[in-house]
Structures are given as C-alpha cells and as structure tokens.
Amino acid sequence: MAVLKLLRAPSKYLQGKGALLHFYEETKELGSSFLFICSNSGYKNCSEKLTESFKGSNCEFYFEVFKGISSTGEIERMRKIVQDRKIQVVVGVGGGSAIDTAKATAYYEKLPVVIIPTVVATDAPCTGLSVIYKDDSTFDSYLFYPKNPEAVIVDSEIIAHAPVKFLIAGMGDALGTYFEARACVRTDSPSLENGGIALSAMALCELCYKTLLKNGYQAKLACENHLVTPALEAIIEANTYLSGVGADNGGLATAHSVYNGFTALSECEEVMHGSVVAFGTITQLLLEDAPKEEIKEVMDFCHSVGLPVTLKELSVTDVSRVKIAAEKACIPGETIHNMAGDVTPDQLYDALLAADLLGQDYFK
Ligand SMILES: [Zn+2]
C-alpha cells in the first residue's frame, strides 16, 4: 500500500511581543490546574508574566524549577507532582531539556502539553517527538509521541533578550529543513512522523529557507541589541514553526545525521546542534553535487549570520577524528540513508573534508 500523506502540527501557535500575558486566555479550555516545568532562566524570565495572565481566574498553577537534563529520574519526579496535585495541563518553559521533560511527563500522564520556548535554538517546541541522549550525552534515539503539543507560545520579547547564539544556532537547524525534505522527496522516503510528504509540508520547508535568506542577518542584529523587529519576528517563526513543523512532516537526511555523528567527538561537546546541522547541510549539498550557485548561496548565508563553514569552527582540529563521526552518522536507522543512492562512511568522510576545504577557501 502506498504511504499516506501526513501533516501534523501543534493545535495552536502564538507568537509576539508580550504573548505570555495571554497565556491563560489562550489555554483555559485545556484544564484548570497547570504545572509549569521551568528551566532556571525560564522561571526567572517568564513567571511574572504568566502569573499576571492568571489574574482574576480560579485556576491553580505551580512553578517547578527543573534541574539538569531530561533524565528518567527527573521525569519521574515531575509525574509525582502531577499526580499529587491533580494537575490537568503540563507546560514546558525553557530550552530543549525543559521542553522534552514536559512532553514526556504529559505523555506518560495522558495530559495536554503546552510549550513556551525561551530560546529558539532547535525544532523541539513544535515537533511530536523528543530526542533521547545516552548518559555520556551521545545521541541515542528519537522518542515519538502520538500527537504534537496542544499549544506553542513564543514571547518575542523574551527571545530578543536571550543570548544571540541561540537564535543563530536555530537558524542553522532551520537551514537543513528544506534541503533535507527535498532529499526525502527525491527518494520517496517517509517524513519523521513516518508519513508521505505532502505538498503543504514542502511549501513550509521552502518558505523556511527563503525566510532565512531574507531576514537572517537583520534578525541577528536585532537580537544582539534586544530589539523586536519584523525581521526578528520572521526568524522566530522560521526557527520554531516553519523548521519544526517542516522537519516533522518533511523528513531529515544528511545534515542531521552529521550532527548525530559529531556527538561522538568530545571536542564538539560545547558546539550547538544547529551549528553542526548547518555544516552538515553544506556537506549534503556536496554529496548531491548541487549547483555551485546553490552551495554559494548557503555558504554566504552561513557566513552572514555567523554559522560555521569549516571544521575548525566546529572545534575539530584533528581531521582524522572526522572518520569516527562519519561512521556514527551512517549507522543503520540514520536519516542519511534517505539520500539517493545511499551514502557510505567513506563517501561522507570525503564530503565533510571537501566542505571544510570550500569553507577554508571562503576565508582566503
Ligand atoms: Zn534539528
């Protein structure tokens, strides 16, 4: 039987300056007792606005500051709070770990989940999955949920005040979206949600790339200076919705496998997900023998916003170590196998070094 086309997305997406002041109004149909699972900075930056949004309501709400990573232990602790306090809605406030803990807690307790990202660095807010890491923080697997979050609410003012490195990394993650989906379409590979790729999904991915090219540089300047501008709003939407829903329904290919491969290199521990995805995107284009103009356009973009185009910028100085990453990127089940003609570790290694050489040329 042919694979059915599938589109999944959060039921509601809200974005804008002061969006959190509307939290209660926009989520009250979900229940009357809320648990906010917050990162440290999430609590500091959001709790006041959220509390204000509940003014005049009879709802109960609790803030719980989340510690460390989204481990089984931390998820168990949150589940106990949910049961003891008879929570009806789980809310994740923060970056990737707080979001993943909230998604997992809600899933196991069969409750709706709302996501409030305080940085726009990855696809985590809008997708219907969590990324699971091993204890040594290398990539383990994806954990799939039956649905995407009930609502995602992004306050642009909070994003404008977050360190710009998160916005830049988010643009790197978003950069892969169109090219990875295009690779999946070429081979009839399924999306991340294991469905056929719909035209509408592809349209989101294309718009994601166009928005990055049009607004990336200006958005970076705005964020550096804590200004909320139309360009920043456009990039927040590209990083969060277009990239998240696009990847979920459009599929992944080489760029994300390169990231998973690089988690095996200890020297890259501090390098952000989106930075590696950006370099992985250039690598993918080389593997595809993409037109020179297209490769140049992508590299120009990376350079303009401060995304890496060389291995050195990813903290890799010993290129022989790239072999380890290439092996891990090509293990069975990796999305790199969605590429036309498939890719071997050897081919990927050569493409990674070729991408690095092109990048070095860029600085000459
Ligand atoms: Zn990603």
In a domain, 18, yes or no: yes
Tell me which residue range forms the domain holding 173: 164-362
Indicate which CATH number applies to the domain containing 256.
1.20.1090.10
Query: Angle CA(91)–CA(162)–CA(129) in degrees, nearest 5?
Result: 40
The answer to whether residue 5 is domain-embedded is no
Cα of 135 from ligand 1 centre, angstroms: 20
Distance 294 CA to ligand 1 centre (A): 21
In the reported structure, the alpha carbon of residue 169 is separated from the centroid of ligand 1 by a whole-number distance in angstroms of 10
Asked whether residue 23 carries a pLDDT value surpassing 60, the answer given is yes
Comparing 7-11, 75-79, 157-161, 221-225, which segment has the lowest mean pLDDT? 75-79
Residues 97 and 133 in one domain: yes
Distance between Cα 337 and ligand 1 center (Å): 17
Task: Quote the pLDDT of residue 289.
Answer: 97
Q: How confident is the model at residue 182 (pLDDT cuts 50, 70, 90)?
A: very high
107 lies in the same domain as 208: no
Residue 202 and residue 326 in one domain? yes
**Residue 84 Cα, ligand 1 centroid: separation in angstroms?**
35
pLDDT for the residue 364: 85
Distance 357 CA to ligand 1 centre (A): 24
**CB 235, CB 307: distance < 8 Å:** no
Residue 6 in any domain: the answer is no
Burial 295-311 (b: 16+ CB within 10 A, else e): beebbebbeebbbbbbb
152 and 244 in a common domain: no
70 has binding-site annotation: no
Per-residue pLDDT reduced to its tens digit, 44-94:
999 999 999 999 999 999 999 987 777 778 888 999 999 999 999 999 999
Looking at the structure, tell me whether residues 344 and 244 fall in a common domain: yes
Query: Does pLDDT of 40 surpass 90?
Result: yes
Q: Is residue 109 part of a domain?
A: yes
Residue 86 and residue 191 in one domain: no
Q: Using pLDDT thresholds of 50, 70 and 90, give the confidence band for residue 4.
A: very high
Residues 130 and 217 in one domain: no
Q: Is residue 3 part of a domain?
A: no
Residues 238 and 324 in one domain: yes
- C-alpha 266/C-alpha 68 separation (Å) is 19
- For tokens 């697997």, the residue is 141
Instruction: Say whether both 114 and 216 belong to one domain.
Output: no
Nearest to 250 by CA among 7, 38, 3, 33: 7
**pLDDT for 75:** 86
Structure tokens at 192: 């991340």
Domain CATH for 89: 3.40.50.1970
Give yes or no: residues 215 and 280 share one domain.
yes
Residue 149: band (very low, low, confident or very high) from pLDDT cuts 50, 70, 90: very high
Residue with tokens 């329904």: 249
Contact 334, 259 (CB under 8 A): no
Assess whether pLDDT exceeds 90 at residue 321: yes
Which residues have CB under 8 Å from 206's CB, separation 6+? 178
Domain count, the chain: 2
What the block records as the tokens of 70 is: 């989204």
- Is position 247 annotated in a ligand binding site? no
- Give residue 277 CA to ligand 1 midpoint distance, Å: 7
**Domain match, 143 and 229 both:** no
Task: Output the pLDDT for position 137.
Answer: 67
329 and 181 together in one domain: yes
133 is in an annotated binding site: yes
Residue 7 lies in a domain: no
The pLDDT of residue 135: 63
What is the rounded average pLDDT of the residues 247-272? 95
